[in-house]
Structure 1
Amino acid sequence: MIRFENVSVTYDGAAEPAVQGVDFEVPEGELVLLVGPSGVGKSTVLGAVSGLVPHFTGGTLRGRVTVAGRDTRTHKPRELADVVGTVGQDPLSHFVTDTVEDELAYGMESLGLAPDVMRRRVEETLDLLGLADLRDRPIATLSGGQQQRVAIGSVLTPHPAVLVLDEPTSALDPPAAEEVLAVLQRLVHDLGTTVLLAEHRLERVVQYADQIALLSSPGAPPVLGAPAEVMAISPVYPPVVDLGRLAGWSPLPLTIRDARRQASDLRQQLKERLDGAPKGRGELRDQPQQTRTRHQSAPPELLGAPTHRRWFRRKRTTPTPQTPHAAEAHELTVTRDNIRALHHINLTITPGETVALMGRNGAGKSTLLNTLVGLIKPSTGSITTGGTVGLVPQEPRDLLYADTVAAECTTADADAAATPGTCRTLVSELLPGVADNTHPRDLSEGQRLTLALAVVLTARPPLLLLDEPTRGLDYAAKARLVTLLRDLAARGHAIVLATHDVELAAELADRVVLLAEGEVIADGPTADVVVSSPSFAPQVTKILAPQQWLTVAQVREALA
């Protein structure tokens, strides 16, 4: 169905091809997962299937890409629209209408489908993706995860033969991600749909893949093979594979079920190590997370970049009422557009503490962050902070408005009254190899988010708020982010991150606050909250239960 024949893509002005030697086939009715570190060309490969590369992006495509027999170099994206459905990393750039139902119908209208067919498919998709309650909602009022589900639904309604998806679950809560992936699997198995999908959160998707195409480094030809075989050599892999490698399991497990079947000896080994642990490690028996170092978009009209950066300066000179805590929320309620986003929130955040806000899409996580930073005013209740507050929003373009990385960094240094070069140093730590003259729009979604983080961190705010900070990041980039945030927490900075990344919460958070319908339904130490949750528990916890381990790093340390 999809055929790459010795394909290379070189963008205008680039010294080297973004991808080269791409030569593989995606058979009809298979789901092929495209994996690899950030910046290796996964989005370029996907864009070549839909025709966006080179017709929209520019550059030179050599070789041949065919989809259902159509050469994408001679067929523009609109001439492939009846065959290929595409969802990119940024759902906002995908929308052409104002409401959920209109967006789901738009693609079918463009193809001239009959009204009765359109109506039926809209209803089916609303049910499949859990969007029925949102059908009349303006898209601009939805959370990032809800918008992503709408974007996916809008390409499902025309029933394309091929689906091309770039990070489709990056903004989805765990149950919603499972629902979307179950829909994709049903399309593949029951309707013969062909799916090519790129995703960094491999713990969510690897078990659904028929084959994996690995791009290990920029310009390197892909390696195509069975999932377990490719995961054995891949530089990026989910915790279940990491644990399997550590324990020497064969075959290498890809699912929790397969790993649990092999984990009995490891559980016993860990039990013996802990039972014989010297004094001082006893805490690990009940709360393994305690051995770690201590330590979530507002409307576009509010998040214009210059205004947002000036807000940080204003916070330093005219702070909100002071508190010995990093922040306090008392009986906080927020109602917007007749929708109660937050209800009677009571929350205290202390210096040096890392708090993960979790919950399903639309639970109020982003609203709480935007209220803490002052972008949204409480309807009732109060917010007090202990100093400057910095927010990294879900959409990095809300903070990035210069033409180059260097210009962004220079402006950030000036805004924060920081030593020149401070922001650039942070960028180098988090994004090795990114050139000064790179335009932010030429960065991947994860790279743009990391640049926005560096811009905010330049001011070293005592309270740092992060909205989906690992969206679009590969495992190596996430590890660098974790190291940086741990260092900030150790220096006394308070960190609050809204995230659907359960592995990040397990790795980093001292405490998890679980939201539902704008209310706090759980607030406690990470292990206490996530271990008991089938949706928000990390992979290691599920594999090694009833023992309360959260990360592979903890297991590795215990075995050492």
Structure 2
Amino acid sequence: MSTGSHHGPAVVLEHVGVTYADATQPVLRDVDVEIEEGELVVVVGRTGSGKSTLLGTINGTVPHFTGGTLSGRVVVAGRDTRTHRPRDLADVVGVVGQDPLAGFVTDTVEAELAYGMEQLALPPATMRKRVEETLDVLGIADLRDAPLRDLSGGQQQRVAIGAVLTCHPRVVVLDEPTSALDPTGAEDVLAAITRLVHDLATTVIIAEHRIERVLHHADSVLHVVDGRVEHGSPASVMRTATVAPPVVELGRVAGWDPLPLSVRDARRAAASLRRELPPRPAALPPTATEPVLEASGVSVRYDDLVAVQDVDIVLPRGSVTALMGRNGSGKSTLLWALQGSGPRTAGRVRVDGADTADLGAAQRRARVGLVPQTASDLLYLDTVDAELAQADRESDAAPGTARAHLDALAPGIPGERHPRDLSEGQRLSLVLAVQLTADPPVLLLDEPTRGLDYTAKAALRDAVRRLARSGRAVLCSTHDVEFVAESADRVLLLAAGEVVADGPTADVVLASPAFAPQVAKITAPAGYLTVAEVRAQLEARR
């Protein structure tokens, strides 16, 4: 695959600043960066630090679509974004967003791969050849005729990347490419991305909150903090970065130099640490508490498809249970069936003596709160205050109840703000506060860590723990093994709609390479799950 004739760096930003129309200060200031051809660059930083704006300057959407003022100069594959609008850059910059399904314009894999080339009016013979090459590079040849909406999240993400690749861009920009994927799907997508860099010399720029998944693939890191950008080797930037994956946190705690970026490097550095650590103390068996939710024989069928098969679950008061399994294993379907508003073909789900399927909406909310994957689906009013007041009314709660919940979860969110303008973590907190206003004893969360940075995730972990201590039962469906290691007492593993494992978190995640957290892999066979556990042991021994 040829990449055109431009020579020199793939992307150059000179003294770039961006200020949006109604903002009092710039989002980016005085950014100087050069990215070479065939480099894989990971963009890290807290939510709201300016990462999305930085990506937008590279593909030309900032300022052409977003408005605001861009100072300085951005040159991509030899083209100045000032004089080239996004459509004039379409053949050199490809963009893959967070939600592939929302970006698709056709119905099948092959049609989607060809669409961009049709827009560029390429000859049919070229198009056919490139579709074949791309199907091979991404390992999706068997999906050629598949309808896009029937694909798993990981497959959709690979098709979205493929649709960009067939146009042979010099630069590919990916925004959170693995946020919706299970660990195995994420590995597949990242393997495909690294192949582009190595085989085609494509320049790839990835913004990702789940840094643990991509860092070891990176040639360099762009760290965005308060509008300024630091660019350097992954090990040097991560030494002081404001966000860091567990492997880096562990390296900082243990004082390793150079700082390891992959589990493999950390394993090598950790030989003496492993000798120093005693085996992880076994988790105490949970003190028997009364079950709040009891589900037996729950099944969900759609025609011939069995989505959930004969599932039994008991959620005790004061517990946090993680529901894990690959994309398409039936996790979301099970949550909706438990909550009572989703379909259920067989089985019973009892909370407070009643089956959730027999209750009206208000009674159901008072027993089981559910925060869906796209939390904002539950928000429909113009201000935060209006959402909170509505929650108080719907739940017959005293005025101010929802606000008190929100302030406990995420203090200081202005009431007049539109929910659309909140960060992902703030929106999640708002929906949680709305659900908690009805005071349900059971709370179900579907993929709550999507789009959250490490800081927001730590806040969610603390909130979930607090809710359990207050006597609620929390069931959280997630692909985020690091979040599970820090938050859950117990893990249910779902495969093809059936529970295939159910036990204490350590027992279940340590038994599976795909679901084991980084610290567990580095300290094996000692069995530690989190940096905090290792830190506590080291402090106790020093």
Same structural fold, with TM-score higher than 0.5 when normalized by the shorter chain: yes
Aligned to 1:362: 328
Aligned to 2:451: 472
Aligned to 2:238: 231
Aligned match of 2:296 in 330, 341, 349? 330
Aligned to 1:341: 307
| Local SS of the residue matching 2:239 | helix
For 1:104 and 1:290, the matched residues in 2 are separated by: 53
Amino acid at match of 1:377: P
For 1:524 and 1:180, the matched residues in 2 are separated by: 30
The structure-2 alpha-carbon separation of the partners of 1:532 and 1:109, relative to structure 1 and needing over 3 Å to count, comes to same
- Give, in angstroms, the shift of residue 367 of structure 1: 1.1
What pairs with 1:506-517 in structure 2 (closer than 5 Å)?
Answer: 506-517=485-496
- Give, in angstroms, the shift of residue 121 of structure 1: 4.4
Mean CA deviation greater in 367-376 or 383-392: 383-392
Deviating above 6 A after TM superposition, structure 1's stretches of 4 or more consecutive aligned residues are none
What pairs with 1:104-119 in structure 2 (closer than 5 Å)?
Answer: 104-119=113-128
- Give, in angstroms, the shift of residue 55 of structure 1: 2.1
Amino acid at match of 2:29: Q
Aligned to 1:46: 55
Mean CA deviation greater in 331-340 or 227-236: 331-340
Amino acid at match of 2:268: R
**Could you tell me whether the CA contact under 8 Å between 1:294 and 1:353 is conserved in 2?**
no
For 1:417 and 1:150, the matched residues in 2 are separated by: 47
For 1:195 and 1:178, the matched residues in 2 are separated by: 16
> TM-score w.r.t. structure 2 length?
0.88
For 2:99 and 2:484, the matched residues in 1 are separated by: 23
For 1:432 and 1:130, the matched residues in 2 are separated by: 46
Q: Does 1:216 align with 2:225?
A: yes
The structure-2 alpha-carbon separation of the partners of 1:559 and 1:190, relative to structure 1 and needing over 3 Å to count, comes to same
Task: State percent identity of aligned pairs.
Answer: 60
Amino acid at match of 1:203: E
- Give, in angstroms, the shift of residue 26 of structure 1: 1.4
Aligned match of 1:396 in 375, 383, 386? 375
The structure-2 alpha-carbon separation of the partners of 1:110 and 1:399, relative to structure 1 and needing over 3 Å to count, comes to same
Amino acid at match of 1:379: T
Q: Does 1:266 align with 2:245?
A: no
**Could you tell me whether the CA contact under 8 Å between 1:446 and 1:471 is conserved in 2?**
no
Aligned match of 2:342 in 376, 383, 397? 376
**Could you tell me whether the CA contact under 8 Å between 2:300 and 2:309 is conserved in 1?**
yes
| Local SS of the residue matching 1:23 | strand
Aligned to 2:20: 11
For 2:425 and 2:137, the matched residues in 1 are separated by: 28
Cα deviation digits, residues 502-548 of structure 1 (max 9, x gap): 00111111111111222222111111111011110000100000111
| Local SS of the residue matching 1:203 | helix
Q: Does 1:194 align with 2:203?
A: yes
Structure 2 unmatched ranges of 5 or more: 1-9, 353-365
The structure-2 alpha-carbon separation of the partners of 1:539 and 1:91, relative to structure 1 and needing over 3 Å to count, comes to same
- Give, in angstroms, the shift of residue 201 of structure 1: 0.8
| Local SS of the residue matching 1:44 | helix
- Give, in angstroms, the shift of residue 339 of structure 1: 2.6
- Give, in angstroms, the shift of residue 159 of structure 1: 2.9
The structure-2 alpha-carbon separation of the partners of 1:72 and 1:419, relative to structure 1 and needing over 3 Å to count, comes to farther
Aligned to 1:307: none
**Could you tell me whether the CA contact under 8 Å between 1:33 and 1:212 is conserved in 2?**
yes
**Could you tell me whether the CA contact under 8 Å between 1:294 and 1:354 is conserved in 2?**
no
- Give, in angstroms, the shift of residue 385 of structure 1: 3.0
| Local SS of the residue matching 1:514 | strand
Mean CA deviation greater in 143-152 or 227-236: 143-152
For 1:111 and 1:444, the matched residues in 2 are separated by: 36
Alpha-carbon RMSD across the aligned residues, in angstroms, is 2.6
**Could you tell me whether the CA contact under 8 Å between 1:4 and 1:22 is conserved in 2?**
yes
Aligned to 1:554: 533
- Give, in angstroms, the shift of residue 460 of structure 1: 3.3
The structure-2 alpha-carbon separation of the partners of 1:60 and 1:450, relative to structure 1 and needing over 3 Å to count, comes to farther
| Local SS of the residue matching 2:291 | coil
- Give, in angstroms, the shift of residue 120 of structure 1: 4.9
- Give, in angstroms, the shift of residue 114 of structure 1: 3.9
Amino acid at match of 1:152: I
Aligned match of 1:521 in 491, 500, 508? 500
Q: Does 1:501 align with 2:480?
A: yes
